[in-house]
């Protein structure tokens, strides 16, 4: 089974001014990221505003990314939804259109106990038993936390559950995940500021929103780490942190979209109730990014 690894990018979803998914923008972004050297793509996740899209819209995005990528990189579609039926539909659709696998966030908003979370994942994974599935734990947003022992039980019951994306900066829990299946479980971390540290702990890579805007430094840091040049990787990562901080750590995707526009990518607009940045904040972001980009050798379109 194919896996996520390296610099896996959590993609934004471009929307038009009249609130439609801009599939042309999705294709443009897909090509840019692949050309910049990312290892894998991960559309329709938190960064992609997944819960603000219909099932049909998410399927259209999935089809566009898979078709545009055309096998050049691994594509895993995030399929977690507000109910189990929609999640299963999205997973089976991702497999049908040729994605390499799927990610599934824990049940969201409503509190779920360990038994409920385990049975949810088993039901979803069993609907596509030969399709690679990554669990996705982001407790600060989803309101549910996925314990390592629960993830192990899911993996024991479903051989196609091969890894997890973890997006909370808990080193102890991260280590526990890397010990699942005697270390064979694929763990990717979403803490953009701590890429090198998480790789050193045994993570296979990152699922990064910031790398979806400025992938160059993340790709370079990962390569340096894999080449055994820890000092170089650390120095590159210090520059990456400047991008993380300028983009507010991914807490507001409107910063992502405005920064992509500055790079000449048609990232579109936010979907209500979230609003686009006002002009003065866009100007402030541009002013903050200019020296960081100049230092990194990246040109912005002014």
Q: How confident is the model at residue 256 (pLDDT cuts 50, 70, 90)?
A: very high
Q: What is the mean pLDDT of residues 277-282?
A: 97
Q: Is the pLDDT of residue 233 over 80?
A: yes
Give pLDDT, residue 301.
Answer: 81
Q: How confident is the model at residue 191 (pLDDT cuts 50, 70, 90)?
A: very high
Q: What is the mean pLDDT of residues 145-149?
A: 98
Tell me the average pLDDT of the chain: 97
Q: Is the pLDDT of residue 208 over 70?
A: yes
CA dihedral 119→125→129→134, nearest 10 degrees, is -140
For the stretch 47-81, pLDDT in tens is 999 999 999 999 999 999 999 999 999 999 999 99
Give pLDDT, residue 240.
Answer: 98
Percentage, residues of the chain above pLDDT 70: 100
Give pLDDT, residue 148.
Answer: 98
Q: What is the mean pLDDT of residues 170-184?
A: 97
Give pLDDT, residue 302.
Answer: 62
Is pLDDT larger for residue 251 or for residue 217? 217
Reduce the DSSP state of residue 265 to 3 states and report it: coil
In sequence order, the 6+-apart residues with CB closer than 8 A to the CB of 87 are: 79, 80, 81, 104, 124
Q: Is the pLDDT of residue 250 over 90?
A: no
Give pLDDT, residue 49.
Answer: 97
In sequence order, the 6+-apart residues with CB closer than 8 A to the CB of 240 are: 192, 195, 210, 214, 217, 218, 221
Percentage, residues of the chain above pLDDT 90: 99
The model's pTM is: 0.97
Q: How confident is the model at residue 104 (pLDDT cuts 50, 70, 90)?
A: very high
For the stretch 77-96, pLDDT in tens is 999 999 999 999 999 999 99
Residue ranges and CATH numbers for the domains of the chain are 6-296 (3.20.20.70)
Is pLDDT larger for residue 139 or for residue 301? 139
Question: Which residue has 């990456």 as its token pair?
Answer: 240
């Amino acid at each position: 089974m194919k896996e996520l690894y390296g610099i896996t990018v959590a993609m934004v979803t471009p929307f038009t001014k009249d609130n439609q998914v801009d599939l042309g923008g999705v294709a443009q972004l897909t090509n840019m990221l692949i050309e910049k050297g990312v290892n894998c793509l991960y559309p329709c996740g938190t960064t992609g505003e997944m819960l603000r899209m219909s099932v049909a819209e998410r399927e259209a995005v999935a089809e566009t990314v898979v078709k545009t990528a055309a096998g050049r990189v691994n594509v895993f579609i995030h399929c977690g939804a507000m109910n189990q039926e929609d999640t299963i539909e999205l997973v089976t659709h991702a497999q049908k259109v040729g994605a390499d696998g799927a990610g599934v966030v824990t049940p969201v908003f409503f509190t779920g106990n360990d038994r409920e979370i385990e049975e949810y994942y088993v039901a979803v994974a069993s609907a596509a038993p030969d399709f690679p599935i990554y669990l996705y734990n982001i407790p600060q947003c989803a309101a549910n936390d996925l314990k390592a022992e629960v993830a192990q039980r899911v993996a024991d019951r479903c051989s196609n559950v091969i890894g997890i994306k973890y997006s909370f900066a808990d080193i102890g829990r991260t280590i526990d995940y890397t010990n699942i299946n005697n270390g064979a479980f694929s763990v990717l971390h979403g803490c953009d500021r701590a890429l090198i540290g998480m790789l050193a702990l045994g993570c296979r890579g990152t699922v990064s929103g910031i790398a979806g805007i400025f992938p160059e430094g993340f790709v370079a840091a990962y390569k340096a780490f894999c080449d055994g040049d820890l000092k170089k990787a650390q120095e590159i990562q210090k520059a990456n942190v400047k991008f993380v901080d300028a983009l507010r750590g991914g807490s507001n995707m409107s910063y992502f979209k405005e920064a992509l526009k500055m790079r000449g990518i048609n990232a579109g607009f936010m979907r209500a109730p979230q609003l686009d940045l006002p002009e003065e904040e866009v100007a402030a972001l541009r002013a903050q990014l200019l020296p960081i980009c100049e230092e990194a050798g990246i040109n912005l379109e002014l």
